[in-house]
Amino acid sequence: MTYQTMTFDELCFTTQLPAEIVFEIIEQGIVDPGGDLPENWAFDANMITLTKKACRLHRDLGIDWSGIALAISLIDELERVREENKQLRRRLKRFIAD
């Protein structure tokens, strides 16, 4: 299976963000592109989502860039725990009579 990636300029265009904002997101470790130099960076589809989510948190909630990585990590963990809880509830229903 191959994954399509995009360049830094394509990410900026796709997310409609200025390069300075995208650099800040990368610098804070919110998005970790493949490649060792900016001209070689490669971004996957998940990184587009993360970049947009980071900008929404910054804009809507006023979270500073350094706190956004933590906020995204906590949001992802919450989503994972909710999904696990949902699966466990389905399993439990088999053993509990209504």
What is residue 1's predicted lDDT score, i.e. its pLDDT?
Answer: 55
Domains of the chain from N-terminus onward: 8-93 (1.10.1660.10)
pLDDT digits (tens, 9 = 90+) for 35-51: 988 889 999 989 999 99
Contact 14, 48 (CB under 8 A): yes
Query: Which residue bears the tokens 């929404």?
Result: 56
For 58, other C-beta atoms within 10 Å of its C-beta total: 19
pTM attached to this predicted model: 0.76
Convert the pLDDT of each residue in 6-19 to its tens digit: 999 999 999 999 99
* pLDDT for residue 82 is more than 70: yes
Q: What is the residue-averaged pLDDT of the chain?
A: 91
